[in-house]
Amino acid sequence: IDLKKKYPRRSLYFLIVGRLSREKNILLAIKAFKDIAVKNIDAILVIVGDGPERKNLELKMKDLGLENNIKLEGAVLENDLGGYYRSADALLVTSNYEGYSLVAVEAVGNALPVIMTDVGVAGEVVKNGVNGIIVPVGNKNLFSMALENFLTDSNLRARLIEGARNTKMPYKSFEDYRDKLILSFKQC
């Protein structure tokens, strides 16, 4: 898939990939995106995934008048995610908590900057100001500001894209991450 062909004539393309569940706090992204939409910035948020929160998200999008700014793609095959990562401008991770955040690792592996809450691999793989932007969990105002800064500051975008492109992964796989985490606990 190519988001720029599917949804043409947008200034920037944001992506969320994940299960539509309460702990992923996708409502944070939707509310933050409303702050962008009222400034007439023609960006789009594409949400890939499905889950128990889908109806709530659809209702919130409708209540906020964001049907043209946010698209729910539904679940896709894992093999199809590469096109989403390669055609987006940034991945958003809004979770309240994460064990690892595989999508953030996959995004950086595809040279895609990540704007995320301080969960999972934030600080290890996604480094604030280097290949992404990290904000406190649940802080809509700071998340909105991060989105707006990314949208309006082309130098910031270029630096984060270059940082994502040059990121050396500290783990070869999730199993490598798990084993190193267990080792660090044993050493304590």
How confident is residue 33, by pLDDT bands cut at 50, 70 and 90? very high
Q: Do 149 and 133 form a contact (C-beta atoms < 8 A)? A: yes
- Looking at per-residue confidence, does 141 or 37 come out higher? 141
% of the chain beyond a pLDDT of 70 = 98
Tell me 7's DSSP state: S
- Which tokens sit at 83? 């096109």
The identity of residue 89, as a single letter, is D
What's the predicted TM-score (pTM) here?
A: 0.91
Q: What angle do CA 118, 119, 121 make, to 5 degrees?
A: 105
Tell me 111's DSSP state: T
